Structure formats: structure tokens, C-alpha cells
Amino acid sequence: MTEGRRVFRFAPSPNGFLHMGHAYSALLNFALARESGGRFLLRIEDIDQGRARPEFEAAIYEDLAWLGLEWETPVRRQSEHFEDYARALERLDEMGLVYACDCKRSDVMHFAAAHTDWPRDPDGAPLYPGTCRDKPRRPAREVLAHGGLALRLDMGKAAALAGAGLSWREWGGGDIPANPTQWGDVVLARKDTPASYHIAVVVDDALQGVTDVVRGRDLFNATSLHRLLHRLLELPEPRYRHHDLVLDEGGEKLAKSRGSETLRALRAAGAQAADIRKRLGF
């Protein structure tokens, strides 16, 4: 674990406007950085170029500044660092842990539907059945450059290579055993997205020197997979703090996809930054 000055980050995706859940996570990271005498970084996770929009990125800066947050510049934007992710994928490929997959999501869904009680990952998606796992291997760059649908991690080989004792240090919870196999052979890259969230986030955090990953509890289970990638790629291990989510009146988590009320809408309705901070406990 990195010692010295602590580094926190808030890493939104510019595929919609920020809501109260984003505000809470950003304010918490900012507060913890201030309290520890550490650094606060803003990272734009725009690797999904099909959904990222310049107007949403501009709104992120505007909303966070309105809340009173300050961050270091220049801001890291994932779309400017595809080569960093490609190198990580190549390293895993050289270790024999990556294979090309030509299956569509619908293929996996149909397979799972035909098999009673087929296992699912923590997000509820059926695990990949390994259809393409034993096909002849092709270099990762070649697969993505010549129309291969996706690159997957051979989880069985990866877990065996990583060995036992994989865990992470959770704020207030001590050491948490990691169980990456619950995710199965996850997708690490697609032809239309050069790296998955999982690859990009561990590489970004390492290159930015992030020591403390503070994010919502909806990503708690993903940390098992991230710790596996840390070990395989020999990346530093950060501390973790998975905070409670901000819920709506129906008890559901706020989400862009569900049309949750945005900070911009609240501001347009007359809300002040101090009101938002107070509502969220800051």
C-alpha cells in the first residue's frame, strides 16, 4: 500500500447529468482529502465514447464547482489514455489469461435460459459459459483491430496464478476476503470499447497514485475483481471505503438511467449549494 500523502478521487462518467448520489460521493472524497491533508483528483471516465457527451462533461465541472469543490488540474480523461489500457491487456495476454470471444450478450442469455439455475454474477448477469475459451489464441490487439467482439479474462487460470490470500482493507471493516471467481470470465475489452471499466479503473488509480478508493456500496463486489487485477498486473493496493447509497423516496438507488433528479434541476428550482451539502450531511 502506498504510504505518504493520501490521494482521493471522484470519477464520474459524462453520460448524463450528476444527481445527489454523485454529489455525496464527490463531497465525501473531497472532505476526506481535506481532513487528511491529502489530494483530491477529478477523473472523467469517458472510455465509452458512444455515450459520452461534451455537454455532460462541461456540466460535471460546473456542478462540482457550484458545490464548492476544487480539484487538481489537468484532469485525467480516459479517452486520452487508451494506450495505457492496451498495455495492461497485452500483459495479461502474454500471461495466457486473455482470450477472444465472438459470443453476443444474447447468446449468453439464451444459454443461461436453457440451463436451470445457471449461476449469475453479483450484478445478476448470467456467467459466461466458456464457449470460446478453448479456441486458438490470438494476440489481444489483433482481436480488437480485426473485428473480434470481445476479450475475456480466463478466470480459472487468473485466480490460480494470483494464488491464495487475496483481500482488501475496508474502512471500518478490516480485511475483506476477495472472491473474484464469482464474476466468471469477465469481458476486459470490446471492439467498440477498448477497455472495460474494470481494467481502466485499476490502471487509472495506479497511474494517478490513488491511495484511497471511496465509492458506493454498489461496487463492493467489484472490488474482488479489481484486487485480482492489481495482483496480476503488480499494481499498488489502495484502501477502500464503500459508502452507503443515496436512495429515492421508494428506497431505490439514484441513477441516470432511471431519470433521478439532477443537481442542475435542483439548482434551477432554487436550491442553494449549502442546502445540498446540508441534506447530504456536509
- Residue 87 structural domain: 82-208+227-235
Whether 24 and 141 share a structural domain = no
Domain membership of residue 214 (yes or no) is no
Residue with the bigger pLDDT between 28 and 251: it is 28
pLDDT tens readout for residues 74-118 = 999 999 999 999 999 999 999 999 999 989 889 999 999 999 899
Domain membership of residue 43 (yes or no) is yes
Whether 40 and 175 share a structural domain = no
Number of domains in the chain: 2
pTM above 0.75, yes or no: yes
CATH number for the domain harbouring residue 30 = 3.40.50.620
Domain membership of residue 157 (yes or no) is yes
Domain membership of residue 115 (yes or no) is yes
Whether 124 and 164 share a structural domain = yes
Whether 58 and 139 share a structural domain = no
Whether 72 and 140 share a structural domain = no
Whether 276 and 175 share a structural domain = no
pLDDT tens readout for residues 22-63 = 999 999 999 999 999 999 999 999 999 889 999 999 999 999
CA angle 42, 58, 196 (to 5 degrees): 55
- At 117 the pLDDT is 93
171: its cell numbers: 474502512
24: its cell numbers: 455525496
